[in-house]
Amino acid sequence: MSGIEAPPFWRNALKQEGLVDRWQVCHFLPPSSVIIDVGVAPVSVGSTLAKHDQGVARFVIDALTPRKRYQLSLFRGMTRNF
């Protein structure tokens, strides 16, 4: 999302006002893992989906494992670069 107001969490993490570019990129790693790269950067730095190494970001790591028929467990972890 380009040129948007940052949600409160990201505005506080970025520690500055103004419009931001926001990304959320999901990577599925078969058979049962998902990594979500999410963050914001000031519009002025020109972040893109392909290159977003400015600003602040988090990685959400989800691991799913079967328990019973029609049930699974979800294990979630988060990292951040700020």
Delimit the domains of the chain by residue range: 4-80
State mean pLDDT over 28-32: 94
**Using CA of residue 72, residue 37, residue 19, residue 41, what is the dihedral sign?**
positive
**Alpha-carbon dihedral angle through residues 43, 47, 49, 52, given to the nearest 10 degrees:** -130
- Say how far apart CA 67 and CA 58 lie, in whole Å: 28
CA-based nearest residue to 78, from 56, 62, 54 = 62
pLDDT tens-place string over residues 32-60: 999 999 999 999 998 888 888 889 999 99
Least confident segment among 9-13, 25-29, 30-34, 45-49:
45-49
